[in-house]
Each structure stands twice: as C-alpha cells, then as structure tokens.
Amino acid sequence: MKSKAEPPLSSQIPSVVSLWFVAIVCGVAVFFIAICLQWLIYDDWLHKSGPVRMVGSAIAFFLTFIFVYRWQLIARKRRIETLRRFETIRWMNDQIRNSLQTIECLVYATHPHVTDPVKDAVDRIENVLQGVLTEAHPEQRPKIRDLQQTGSTSQP
C-alpha cells in the first residue's frame, strides 16, 4: 500500500500539452531574439533601415519548435520506460518478500529446530532485494534503512 505523502510515479511524466507549450515558448523566444538581432545589426550598427526579414526568423521558430518538441518527446519516452522498470522492480520485490515470509513461517511451524539456516537465507535474499530497491529508488534510502532497522519485511 502506498503512502499518501509519496506521489505516484506517473505524476513525474510531463504531459503532451506541456511538451507543446515548452516547444512553442522556445520557438517564440528564438523568433524574437532573431528579430531583435536583425534590428540591432541592421538599424543600430549598420544604420541601414529597411524591412525586417521575417522569413528567416520564422524558419528559426519552426526549426526550434520541431527540435525542442522531439527532444522532449524522446526524454518523456525514456522516463516512461524507466518508471515502468521501477514499477516492475517494486512489484517483484513485493512478491518475493511475500513468498519468503511464507517459507519462513512454514519452516518455523513445521521444524522449529531448522529455522536458523532458513532465516539466514531469507535475510540474505532480503538484503539483496533491499540493495536492488535502493539502486532503483535512491530517493527512498532513509525509508529502506528504517525498515531494515525495525526488521519489517513488508513493502512500505
């Protein structure tokens, strides 16, 4: 069960609308910079007044828009794939922990004298799972350390 303080991983993915917005803003910024540079060079430095050339600035806008949009779209796809991997790791971790708890309880219930080797094996597997989870979610390291100190084997 997820805590309410932890946002879902899907909230870390930018929407397509935000990709369009950022691409348009970047394109407009390049367009205005190109217009301002034309004005600065032709009118101010060369003292040649004349019409502002809009075609080159419009092409710069279009190319910037396409470049920024594609760049963000690729970054978004990579982020989605990474978050899918993290979710898979989280799911596998939970399933393995549940199975290990079952094994540990069954061994203790049927043969209390052999629980020490089984408990050691379960602890080793638990440590490996914690290492994988820590690498997958470095921002959750304090939570994982707290779980290890309390001896809890359930997913937060």
Number of compact structural domains in the chain: 1
Q: Is 133 inside a domain boundary? A: yes
Q: Is 104 inside a domain boundary? A: yes
Q: Is 1 inside a domain boundary? A: no
CA 51/CA 39 separation, integer angstroms? 9
Query: Is 76:13 a contact under the CB 8 Å cutoff?
Result: yes
- Token pair belonging to 143: 């939570």
CA 129/CA 94 separation, integer angstroms? 9
Residue ranges making up the domain that contains 39: 11-150
Q: Is 6 inside a domain boundary? A: no
CA 13/CA 20 separation, integer angstroms? 14
Q: Is the pTM of this model over 0.85?
A: no
Helix (H) or strand (E) holding 122: helix 115-136
Q: How many other C-beta atoms lie within 10 A of the C-beta of residue 122? A: 19
Q: Is 155 inside a domain boundary? A: no
Q: Is 2 inside a domain boundary? A: no
Q: Render each residue's pLDDT in the chain as its tens digit; 156 residues.
A: 444 555 666 677 888 899 999 999 999 999 999 999 888 887 777 777 767 778 889 999 999 999 999 999 999 999 888 888 888 887 887 888 788 777 777 777 777 676 677 777 777 887 877 777 677 666 655 444 454 444 444 443
Q: Is 140 inside a domain boundary? A: yes
Q: Is 125 inside a domain boundary? A: yes
